[in-house]
Chain A
Amino acid sequence: MASTTETKQKKMLILKSADNDEFEIEESVGVQSETIKNLVEDGFTFVPLPNVYTKALIKIIDYLKKHANKTDSNDEEIKTFDKDFVNTTFDDLFELVSAANYLHISCLMNMLCQTIADRIKDKSPEAVRKIFHINCDYTPEEEAKIRKANAQAFEGQFDESLD
């Protein structure tokens, strides 16, 4: 909560990833993350992020830069950027959502959770198992019971695609 920051224009921060890469960004970009903001308010300008790997951090910095420059006129541009941003593999999405969660960037969290949910919805349980390499650990009796209990959810067509 407290802040002792100085009024210089364009203060910079250094973020250090879990694999020890350092990135310099403007403070105003970084503080969109609650985690970073709290550290900045306590006077830190060097921010180690032991839970965020370089690959995810680069993408997230991109995201923060884009969203820090939100104006009335670049709404469409940001929407396109966001769409592109989430158009990636599940592995990447999981890494990003974990990082966004650790960094407390709520708009990014929402977007990533929504994206993952959208890619799961309408799938059959079999498709979900294949996509995520999940072992069905039910006994046949258990599975039959659970299927029966949720029978209504199995009416209609499903998306059997594996992407």
Chain B
Amino acid sequence: MEVEENPQLQMRPESSPMEVEQFDRRPAALGDLRILPDEILCSILTYLTPRDVARLSCVSSVMYILCNEEPLWMSLCIDIADRQLQYKGSWKRTALDQLNVSFENNESFQKLLHFDGFNSMFLYRRLYRCYTSLNGFYYDTGNVERTKNLSVEEFRDKYDGQKPVLIGGLTDTWPARTTWTTEELLKNYGDTAFKLSQRSRYKIRMKLKDYLSYMKVQHDEDPLYIFDEKFGEAAPELLKDYIVPDMFKEDFFDVLDKDQRPPFRWLIMGPERSGASWHVDPGLTSAWNTLLCGRKRWALYPPGRVPLGVTVHVNEEDGDVNIDSPSSLQWWLDFYPLLAEEDKPIECTQLPGETIFVPSGWWHCVLNLETTVAVTQNFVNAKNFEFVCLDMAPGYRHKGVCRAGLLALDDISIEDVRKNMLSLESGSSCSDLSRKDKRIRVDQPKGSEKGSTVDGVSKCIYLSEVEFSYEINFLAMFLDKEQDHYTSLWSSSNSIGQREMREWLSKLWVGKPEIRDLIWKVFIYSLLC
């Protein structure tokens, strides 16, 4: 077969000349499967059941090795976990425990067999990611502005809706500053179950004491972390340990009843290597995130600028956006070093007691450098209200454009927009656009003033003479005129339902007469488009 002649497809680990003579058990132990790289073999195994994987491990030595990989069992376990999870020291044991398979008395289970003569670059790199030190990111070489004693006005004028900022000093009066350490929390909430981060069929929970013991022993590449929007219900006292900072107090969703309001606050706790992979916050809300202990590395890109290694899929049925992204750790270790200076994200290392502000629509990715405890809230205020409402409007294109910029469009749509813009040329929105565009450039990392860098940046923003701009009039051009709010498919990812959306706007109309202009504007965008 042709493929066999192609050494590239086999992707066998490179061996130095010294090792050429070494015995390689891979070909015989994999038979016809040997033409598949380890990476693909490992991913095929994740589509099987634990029972199938256990049986496959009896086929041959290399199958045994691949079928006993901890990341495989982590994935199998998360697929089947439908109740509170208790980590049993390894993911394989945890999975079997979930399936009520006893292994305690099974001696042969205790120790894995070792086979030499199998070297896998793929498995090695994965293991490397699980054990490597993240010290290189520990000290801040970043370029997010740091402020202290930031006033509400200053925040509104300089940062809100414009760029990320690190704010110090907000936690000085919070009880959480001293009580949100793993030791203290364990004392008071050990038996409280919190929700975990994994995207699985069932939301997995773990008791805090079980989670903390998992956190200590695991060496996972993408460790589970606590990410619980219901922590206020599970442990109401925790809500008294922090105070929403003044500059973030305004939240238009607070007019909704508790059960109608979309999730807006999360307790986050996770070990080194864990963290959220690249994403844009739900519904284009803005967020603040305050770190109580540990350090977090942040990377951010302005709206519309898709990070390297990330793919944005736009659903053709309802315009919903799905994101494919490597784990945060993998991105930092494998993608970040490949970036040219001008393509690097805006980044920083957040320290305990610091709060970071993430504006609406901004891409971000977080890596915990050590065990961290944080609280985060998302909000809708006067600055991002229109974006949040626009995002809920039905249609095929605007959600993609808000996140991926003009890359989300095909040629014909771009042509439409170009015509649209030419006809608007004398209008005010164009000067608006160029002003915003400059803003995006200003936000680029330092040292980007030079000619070549500006090219790099503008390449991402200009596409066929149309400039992307995260500006409401620009984005509104991508709404589908023929879609209407009452009969169109309501996108499943919208944070509130169709009826709640109408109720929300009418409650705001009554409760916040000072923003009626805005409400009327979004009413036109999102309900009557």
Among candidates B48, B57, B305, B324, residue contacting A150 with C-beta atoms closer than 8 Å: B57
Q: How far is the CA of A150 from the CA of B305 in the complex (A)?
A: 48
Does chain B have a CB within 8 A of A70? yes
Instruction: Give Cα distance in the complex from A129 to B52, angstroms.
Output: 14
Asked, given contacts A51-B6, A94-B3, whether A135 binds B48 with beta carbons under 8 Å apart, the answer is no
A83 within 8 A of B: no
> Is A101's beta carbon under 8 Å from chain B?
yes
When the two chains form their complex, are residues A125 and B44 in contact, meaning their CB atoms are under 8 A apart?
Answer: no
Contact (Cβ within 8 A) B412 A9:
yes
- Say yes or no: A125 contacts B31, CB within 8 Å: no
Q: Which residues of B in the span 409-455 have a Cβ within 8 Å of any Cβ on A?
A: 410-412, 414-415, 418
When the two chains form their complex, are residues A98 and B36 in contact, meaning their CB atoms are under 8 A apart? Answer: yes
Known A-B contacts A5-B464, A94-B32, A94-B35; A101 and B59 likewise in contact (beta carbons under 8 Å) = no
CB of A113 within 8 Å of the partner chain: yes
Known: A70-B316, A149-B109. A18 touches B52 (CB 8 A): no
B460–A117 CB distance below 8 A: no
Q: Closest approach, in angstroms, between the C-beta of A117 and any C-beta of chain B?
A: 4
Q: Is A91 an interface residue (CB 8 A)?
A: yes
Interface residues of B, CB < 8 Å — how many?
A: 64
Q: Which residues of B are found within 8 Å of A1, using beta-carbon distances? A: 305-306, 308, 343, 407, 459-460
Contacts of B109 in A (CB 8 A): 149
Flag if A129 contacts B414 (CB, 8 Å): no
Give the nearest-CB partner of A5 in chain B: B464
A142 interfacial contact with B, CB 8 Å: yes
Query: By the criterion CB–CB under 8 Å, are B6 and A18 in contact?
Result: yes
Given A5-B464, A101-B39, A106-B324: A135 and B31 interface contact (C-beta under 8 Å): yes
Say yes or no: is B492 at the interface (Cβ < 8 Å to chain A).
no
Q: Which interface residue of A2, A6, A34, A97 has the most chain B CB atoms within 10 A?
A: A2
CA distance A135 to B3 in the complex (A): 21
Q: Report the bound CA distance from A125 to B317 in whole Å.
A: 43
Tell me if A145 and B108 are in contact (CB < 8 A): yes
Task: Answer yes or no: B51 CB below 8 A from chain A CBs.
Answer: yes
Contact indicator A117/B47 (Cβ below 8 Å): yes
Q: Which of A18, A91, A109, A152 touches B54 (beta carbons < 8 Å)?
A: A152
Bound complex: CA A5 to CA B459 (Å): 10
Q: Does B56 have its Cβ within 8 Å of any Cβ on chain A?
A: yes
Are A134 and B60 in touch, CB under 8 angstroms?
yes
Asked whether any CB of chain A lies closer than 8 Å to the CB of B55, the reply is: yes
CB within 8 Å: A-B pair count: 166
Bits for B5-46, please: 1 = Cβ < 8 Å to A, else 0. 010110000000000000001001111110111011001111
Digitize B42-72: 1 where CB-to-A-CB distance is under 8 Å, 0 elsewhere: 0111111111101111111101100000000
Residue-by-residue, is A61-98 near B (CB-CB < 8 Å gives 1, otherwise 0)? 00000000011100000000000000000110011011
Q: Which chain B positions have C-beta within 8 A of A125?
A: 55-56, 58-59
A146 and B67 CA atoms in complex are apart in Å by 12
Which of A50, A90, A148, A153 contacts B8 (CB under 8 A)?
A50
Q: Given A7-B415, A106-B324, A134-B33, A121 and B28 touching (CB < 8 A)?
A: no
Contact yes or no, B459 A4, CB < 8 A: yes
Identify A2's interface contact among B48, B60, B456, CB under 8 A.
B456
B510 within 8 A of A: no
- A160 CB to closest chain B CB (Å) equals 12
- Which chain B residue shows the least CB distance to A114? B47
Give me 24 A-to-B residue pairs in the complex whose CB atoms sit less than 8 angstroms apart, sorted by A's number: A1-B343, A1-B459, A5-B411, A8-B411, A72-B317, A94-B35, A95-B3, A98-B35, A113-B43, A120-B48, A125-B58, A125-B59, A128-B56, A129-B31, A129-B59, A129-B60, A131-B32, A133-B31, A147-B58, A150-B55, A151-B106, A152-B51, A152-B54, A152-B101
19 extra interchain contacts, Cβ-Cβ under 8 A, other than A121-B49, A134-B33, A151-B106?
Answer: A1-B305, A1-B343, A1-B459, A2-B460, A6-B464, A34-B311, A50-B8, A91-B32, A94-B35, A95-B1, A97-B40, A125-B55, A131-B32, A134-B28, A135-B29, A137-B25, A142-B113, A150-B58, A153-B54
Contact surface of B with A, Cβ cutoff 8 Å:
1-3, 6, 8-9, 25, 28-33, 35-37, 39-40, 43-52, 54-61, 63-64, 101, 106, 108-109, 113, 305-306, 308, 311, 316-317, 324, 343, 406-407, 410-412, 414-415, 418, 456, 459-460, 463-464
